[in-house]
Amino acid sequence: MARAPSPAITRHTDASPEKSNPPVRHELFLMCDDLATTLRDLHAKNVSVSEANEQCWGSLATLTLPSGARLGIYQPKHPKPPQPKRLTMSHTVELSS
């Protein structure tokens, strides 16, 4: 006996999925101290990088990943968050003979 197709496969709607469920977009930016030097170093390693452009919050550029996705990198004009304090742990190991 033949099985009926899944309703999820046969259901049609007038609204396209793009209009009813807009794609989710996430962005991740790398931060550096000297964007010009960083872009020059990346370019020397054959990484595709854009030219820097000025924003009110910093100098921004993008680099292209092997997948074709773009990743932002910027030199901030705003204060950087404080560096977390490094925890140091000392362990004493006793060796038995």
Is 56 within 8 Å of 68 (Cβ atoms)? Answer: no
| 5, 49 contact by CB (below 8 A) | no
Let me know if residue 7 belongs to a domain.
no
Q: Is the pTM of this model over 0.85?
A: no
- The answer to whether 78 touches 57, Cβ cutoff 8 Å, is yes
Tell me, what's the pLDDT at 2? 47
Half-sphere exposure of 95 (CA within 13 A, CB side): 1
- The pLDDT tens digits for 36-60 are 999 999 999 999 999 999 999 999 9
Better-predicted residue by pLDDT, 29 or 95: 29
Q: Is residue 33 part of a domain?
A: yes
The count of residues in the chain is 97
Domain count across the chain: 1
Q: What is the pLDDT of residues 2-39, one digit of tens each?
A: 444 444 444 445 555 556 788 888 889 999 999 999 99
In a domain, residue 19? The reply is: no
Dist CA 9 CA 29 (whole Å): 38
